[in-house]
Chain A
Amino acid sequence: MKGVAVVIVLIALAALPLFAGTFYINLASQILIAAIFALSLNLLVGYGGLTSLGHASFLGFAAYAAAWTSTRLGYDWLTAAALSIAATTLMAAIFGLISLRATGLGFLMITLALSQVLWGLAYRWASLTNGDNGLTVPARPTPFDIPLDSAEAYYWFTLAVFAISLALMAVFASSAFGSTLKGTRDQPRRMRALGYNVWLIRWITFVYAGFWGGVAGLLYVYYNKYIHPTALSITTSAEGLLGVIAGGSGTLGGPVIGAGLLVLLRNWASAYIERWNMLLGFIFLFIVLVMPEGIVPGLQRIFARGRARKV
């Protein structure tokens, strides 16, 4: 039932360019990229109970790596993308070793500190990153010789990657490994006594989340054909986290909805309301007060109550 609904939504999304203008197609692409980013962060926050405030590291690093290898080293897009993802995953492995010395607030602070280091490097190491001017990517990829220059083509490409990531996250959440990860979130001590290597489970999750953060970063840099240090800033990390929490951490739909809401507010509402940050504040205040568990679980609860009343 649920699977059928998801497929219908995906088909509807695929049909979007047939009736929407370029502005909305691009907006939708941005939402999908933000959704993949939020889904990857949700692996840590939602299923692992590990709140990271440095997830922009992976998005930003992958984007810079792809831009740098293709412009400075002159690699084709496929090599650049593969190198970028490999390097980002490796970096996640190292960042995981450092961050997972702690949990809770300590973990949050270490992830934040590491991402701030990268952000500082992006700004100051100008010979490598071109500093505040950022790096430009000359062209979008051409998978199977299909050019992705048009808004529609890139949207479909992003949608395909999004569908794959969503499917893999769904399987992850219901898999044996996903179950053990949730176990380490709820009862780490019991899990240890049962024979689970809690640290290793968290570390693998960290690396996997880093990988998907890198995927989002690649889509991001090819969408913009440009990368600037702000992609590595705390704002990017915080928006991802806000999306996960607002939408409902530990669910699949939650991070997608939350990320979509944020992108809509930033790109669409800001055109009409100058102080759109204030609107953002009010919306989050509303979410926290009415459905503190997030939009998706909150709506489920409200609908379930409504249904129970009818019976």
Chain B
Amino acid sequence: MTQAPALELIEVCKYFGGIPATQNVSLSVSQGERRLIMGPNGAGKTTLFNQITGDLKPTSGRIRFFGRNITNMSAHRRAHLGMSRTYQIITLFPKDTLEHNVALGLLALRGLRWNMFKPLALEESMRQEAHRILDLVGLRELAKARLSEIAYGQKRRVEIAMALAQKPRLLLLDEPLAGLSSEERAGIKQLIASIPRETTVVMIEHDMDTALDLAETITLLHYGKVIVDGTRDAVVADARTREVYLG
């Protein structure tokens, strides 16, 4: 097998002023893998995500995406290579309908997005595609509702729907279960579990009960450094994991 890893980080460092947020983080996620990144608050998980997506430039180190060096590539170009993300704090378009929110995810990768002389409402095929994706996350009936009118747990689903609309090769989920009830968690868990293997999933999550079921491999971050990295069972059994979480 000479398949390049979906995501490879080599000695990635990020300093804010003199303060390190991630230090020499190296990790490799193979294609199709389900990776959980965990660690206490302030461990640098989201900072790491922001460097992977291009929101932040690493101070040093390299990032490879399916073998391609993307360290200095802008965020929007990474999306065109097949990278999608969700946000810990819901970052959607509250004034627009669910349908429109998802359509913005679809439109992003289509040449149609530059057309300023044709109403978007005439794009029937795109609307149908948006409905199909909303159906996938169980929100089809709410397609015409404004995002600001729906419940928080449903917004979490729209976050994922918007990313899935792009059929990403790598999906980065930043705390997809944050703020949800246990019932809603089960629903989201099922949704994440149903994502096809063509999509590699890297997830940040605090809720161990749910997240451990989804993960195959785990990277444990602490003070911006990789403490333990390996298969789920190995990381869970590792003494250092307990130390970080219980010690």
Which residues does A use to contact B, with CB under 8 Å? Answer: 168, 171-172, 174-180, 183, 186-187, 189-198, 204, 208
Contacts and interface: CB of A to CB of B under 8 A. Distances in A.
B225 interface: no
B43 interface: no
B92 A196 contact: no
Contacts of B91: 187, 189-190
B27 interface: no
B239 to A, nearest CB: 37
B120 A175 contact: yes
Contact of A183 (B85, B93, B118): B93
Contacts of A198: 76
Contacts of B53: 193
B68 to A, nearest CB: 16
B95 interface: yes
14 contacts: A168-B117, A176-B116, A186-B93, A187-B93, A189-B91, A190-B92, A191-B104, A192-B74, A193-B75, A193-B84, A193-B85, A194-B79, A195-B76, A195-B79
Contacts of B118: 171, 175-176
Interface stretch (B105-113, B149-157, B229-237): B105-113
B93 A175 contact: no
Given A186-B93, A190-B87, A178 B80 contact: no
A176 B87 contact: no
Nearest to B172: A193
B112 A195 contact: no
Given A179-B104, A194-B105, A196-B76, A208 B85 contact: no
B interface SS class: mixed
Instruction: Give me the 9 closest cross-chain CB pairs, A-B, nearest first.
Output: A195-B79, A177-B116, A195-B108, A194-B108, A174-B119, A192-B75, A190-B91, A175-B116, A176-B120
A187 B92 contact: yes
Contacts of B94: 186
Nearest to B126: A176
B104 A193 contact: no
B226 interface: no
A interface SS class: helix
Contacts of B84: 193-194
Interface hub of A174, A175, A186 (most chain B Cβ within 10 A): A175
B55 interface: yes
A189 B55 contact: yes
B108 A196 contact: yes
B145 to A, nearest CB: 17
B57 to A, nearest CB: 13
B18 to A, nearest CB: 26
A179 B105 CA distance: 12
Given A175-B119, A192-B74, A195-B77, 6 more contacts: A171-B116, A176-B118, A190-B93, A194-B84, A194-B166, A197-B74
B162 interface: yes
A180 B104 contact: yes
B166 to A, nearest CB: 7
Contacts of A186: 93-95
B70 to A, nearest CB: 14
Nearest to A170: B119
B1 interface: no
A25 B134 CA distance: 53
A171 B115 CA distance: 10
Contacts of A177: 113-116
Nearest to A197: B76
Contact of B104 (A171, A174, A194): A194
Interface hub of B105, B108, B123 (most chain A Cβ within 10 A): B108
